Chain A
Amino acid sequence: MNETEMLKISHYSKTYGEGKKAADDVSLTVMSGDIYGFIGHNGAGKSTTIRAVVGVLDFTEGDIFIDGHSVKTEPMACKRVTAYIPDNPDLYENLTGIQYLNFIADVFDIDEQTRQERIKEYADLFEITQALGDLISSYSHGMKQKVAIISALIHNPKLLVLDEPFVGLDPKATFTLKELMRKMCSRGTAVFFSTHVLDVAEKLCNKVAIIKQGRIIDSGTMEEMTEGHSLEEVFLEVENEK
């Protein structure tokens, strides 16, 4: 494995009951500094793949490597450098925002001064500082999403994995997140995220993969994929063809 390969999915397959394959021989590589978009229809296998990457979903075929470590055999090493933001964050609703962020900071063993600085920086950026003392159960979907994002950034991950990150975010928070993703990539962090918003993917990503019925049907750099067309046109064309 190359030094800059942050995420390598190698022939990963996931089979559910009745032999239906939710992911079928998926292979892709995300290098450090990449913003890699993962697009496909509802039920195409995006979340199944992402959940396997972050160590939530068990799988038997293929392997997934994060920063050179196998998710199967060295899950802890993988999780220490990864941050995951699910599409519908199920946080501890009866904790306050700040209690939850402190829990995550404790998990990653972040010292008090650093956590305070980072929480303040990101909470100010997402304009949620004043609500951090309230119970998460009182938050809107967007506010929960913001807390999930802050919790993901708090330990400066090498790999950021996001499942539909822009759903429920207000326009300003969407802009802030996109800027943050760009900033993190310039520092060498790899970002791998799924989305249905093709405009965002086109403007933000340098690489993209299209998944259909569990199989990667096309992937490459944005320039290679689009060749002067819009990503939407390419997506619809590829979807109809294969």
Chain B
Amino acid sequence: MKSNLLLLRTLLLSTSSRNIYKHTTDKKVKKRIRLGYFGMFCLYAMIIGYSISMCVGYGAYGLLDAIPVMCATVISFLAFLFTFLRTNGYLFNFREYDMLMSLPFEVRTVAGCKFMYMYVKNLPWYLSVSISMLAGYAIFVHPSVFTALLWILLSFLLPIIPMLGAALLGFLIARISTGFQKTNLIQVILSFVIIILSFSLRYIIEALFRDDKVEQTLQSMSEATEKAGRIYLPIRWFQNAIVHTGISDICLLTGLSLMLFVVVFFIVGRSYRNINSSLKNHAASKAYKMSGQKKHSQVQAIAFKEFKRMTGSTVYITNITVGELLATLLGIVVLIVGFDKIVATITNGAPLDAAMLRPAIPFIVYFCIGMMSSCACSPSLEGKNYWIVQSLPIRKKTLYQGKMLFNMYLTVPFMAISTICICIGAKASALELLLDLILGLLLCAFSTAWGCVCGIRHMRLDWTNEVEVIKQGAATAIYMLPNMFVVMGLVVLMVFLGTKMNHTLLTLIFIVITFVLAALSYLRVMALAKKEE
């Protein structure tokens, strides 16, 4: 127990911004930390606002019992996804593995503390959802102090089971992939399967596309969360504990969480060293035979280097290409099933037909493709290797052009496939398809250049785990979150404007706007590159 607490405390201290702020003399680092705090504050404000407004909506339509279910569902989903995406890099394959394993810690202690570290780090996010929803619930129900305390206490337990599930899945993926020669590839494929399954949860899609028929929507969402509660029992236990003060439900949630923790880490602990050994070591390749070497331009060479950087990291590839994969899957599904049927399924009775959503196709595709831009994190990912590009006769302009070229190589083909499939499924005319492709291409260019602006402005080279810049970096957050919300708004705007004006004209207007934005972002990248030189 003592060694568990010691290790957990050290892990938290070693990634604490407060500790860095206290001991660094670098003003830039201090400024970056302050900006990070501000960003976090904004994110918390958004989460709290969103959670409370959702509860107010539920309460206004008398769906009060569904609020605890919604709270448990959101926390469980977030806990599962956050943990699964971080398993590789935090739980396995982490940088200080050699140092920790050579110290007198039990293997189970190391694995358990790494898990607890993820739990403690993410707990404020889960609690912000929980307490906000409690506040929204309290507006209508006026719960007793005991119920409120119970809500908060059980919120500490709610993330544990999904986190354990995600850790176990991550462990199984790592275990399976180490049995193959292409460990990374197998890990990436299996990770994608889980991510796609997670994203396919119906209520998320519903939540993204609804904008009308509030009562019906809420009723439908309530049904969806009720279903979630039937499938995933801890959600039901949480609801019963809050609504009916069910002692047996409280005991079940607590008991199962603790029991699963022990069981999972018993299983993980047994193969932990074996898996990490396999993930961290690669056999020397067969004897290389010198063959014809091709010459490339500097920009192409950098783009290729970025490609190899991406394929060499499971964390990087799964985060960067998840949008491309989703867009392609969406395109294929629309092509097979038909745009009308997909829209009808997703909108589920809302007054939206396929024709209304037609002008929004490029933005729907871009919602997936532009979810993440490799350019937002690739400048930071140079990390300690930054000296290589610094010492070579490469202009900064060329360096960033190479990074942007790679992102275009990555996004454009998927955008084209998805747009073509959806347009065929939507029976769009040749002109509409062409304009959609042009708009899609320009959106990719904007995503690339804007991502690069974020990546350069918030470049951070002193990371110790690449997860810090890929998932948690300021550049990633600043690129991703506004981009996501703006695109969602644009989909709604396109649907609205589409009812008022000609679709072709509407697309042409957005082509011009996007072109201007992409050009301005590109010029900004060039200006920043010049400033760096």
Contacts of A51 in B (CB 8 A): 98
Does A99 interact with chain B (Cβ within 8 Å)?
Answer: yes
Check if B104 sits within 8 Å of A133, measured CB to CB.
no
* B13 vs chain A, min Cβ distance (A): 6
Q: Which of B277-285, B313-321, B406-414, B426-434 lies on the face that meets chain A?
A: B277-285
Contacts of A17 in B (CB 8 A): 181, 282-283
Does A205 interact with chain B (Cβ within 8 Å)?
Answer: no
Mark each residue of chain B from 8 to 43: 1 if its CB lies under 8 Å from any CB of chain A, else 0.
Answer: 001001111001100110100000000000000000
Mark each residue of chain B from 47 to 72: 1 if its CB lies under 8 Å from any CB of chain A, else 0.
Answer: 00000000000000000000000000
Contacts of B95 in A (CB 8 A): 90
Q: Which size class do A's interface residues fall under?
A: 35 or more
Check if A56 sits within 8 Å of B283, measured CB to CB.
no
Does A12 interact with chain B (Cβ within 8 Å)?
Answer: no
* A89 vs chain B, min Cβ distance (A): 7
Residues of B267-292 at the interface with A, using a CB-CB cut-off of 8 Å, are 273-274, 276-278, 281-284, 286
Check if A79 sits within 8 Å of B104, measured CB to CB.
yes
Does A62 interact with chain B (Cβ within 8 Å)?
Answer: no
Contacts of B215 in A (CB 8 A): none
Contacts of A138 in B (CB 8 A): 24, 26
Does A238 interact with chain B (Cβ within 8 Å)?
Answer: no
Contacts of A137 in B (CB 8 A): 20, 462, 464
Contact of A89 among B19, B99, B105, B278 (CB under 8 A): B99
Contacts of B181 in A (CB 8 A): 17-18
Check if A55 sits within 8 Å of B19, measured CB to CB.
no
Check if A94 sits within 8 Å of B277, measured CB to CB.
no
Check if A90 sits within 8 Å of B14, measured CB to CB.
no
Check if A93 sits within 8 Å of B102, measured CB to CB.
no
Check if A103 sits within 8 Å of B98, measured CB to CB.
no
Q: A22-B283, A135-B24 are in contact. Are A92 and B10 (CB under 8 A)?
A: yes
- Bound together, the chains give a CA A139 to CA B511 distance in angstroms of 50
Q: A76-B104, A135-B23, A137-B462 are in contact. Are A90 and B283 (CB under 8 A)?
A: no
Does A95 interact with chain B (Cβ within 8 Å)?
Answer: yes
Does B3 interact with chain A (Cβ within 8 Å)?
Answer: yes
Contact of A18 among B103, B104, B107, B283 (CB under 8 A): B283
Q: A92-B14, A95-B10 are in contact. Are A54 and B102 (CB under 8 A)?
A: yes
Write the residues of chain A forming the contact surface with B, with a CB cutoff of 8 angstroms.
16-18, 20, 22, 43, 48, 51, 54-58, 75-76, 79-80, 82, 84, 86, 89-96, 99, 103-104, 106-108, 133-135, 137-138
5 tightest Cβ-Cβ pairs between the two chains A and B: A16-B283, A92-B14, A79-B104, A84-B102, A58-B277
Write the residues of chain B forming the contact surface with A, with a CB cutoff of 8 angstroms.
3, 6, 10, 13-16, 19-20, 23-24, 26, 95-99, 101-107, 181, 273-274, 276-278, 281-284, 286, 462, 464
For this complex, 21 residue pairs linking A to B, each with C-beta atoms less than 8 Å apart, are A16-B283, A18-B283, A20-B284, A22-B281, A54-B102, A55-B273, A56-B273, A57-B281, A79-B102, A86-B102, A90-B96, A90-B99, A92-B10, A94-B464, A103-B6, A103-B10, A107-B104, A107-B105, A135-B23, A137-B464, A138-B24
